[in-house]
Amino acid sequence: MSTERNEKRSGNDAAGLKRPFMLAYTVKAIDDGRNSIWSKIGAAWVHNDGQGYEIRMDALPVDGRVVLRTVKDKDADQSGEVVDRSPQ
């Protein structure tokens, strides 16, 4: 593999060197659908050419639904479960 190609891939291959563009969640409705639990199950990085994404999953949702959300703030804690109001 050429040096140029190694440099292009290093951001996605080396954990922690490049922040993901999106986080992947599974969402489970609770309280008769009024609230939901968002559990982080993966992350997505933009390809260097801007033409796609690499998605790495730590788990798969039982219902097959994955929600991808852009990372808002590099200092925000988006690493665990979040209970939030369900969209109406």
In angstroms, the Cα distances linking 85 to 29, 32, 38, 41, 82 are 9, 11, 10, 19, 10
Please give the pLDDT value at position 9. Answer: 42
* Residue 54 or residue 74, greater confidence: 54
- The pLDDT tens digits of the residues spanning 1-45 come to 333 443 344 344 434 447 899 999 999 989 888 899 999 999 999
Please give the pLDDT value at position 48. Answer: 87
Q: Whole-prediction pTM value? A: 0.64
Please give the pLDDT value at position 5. Answer: 40
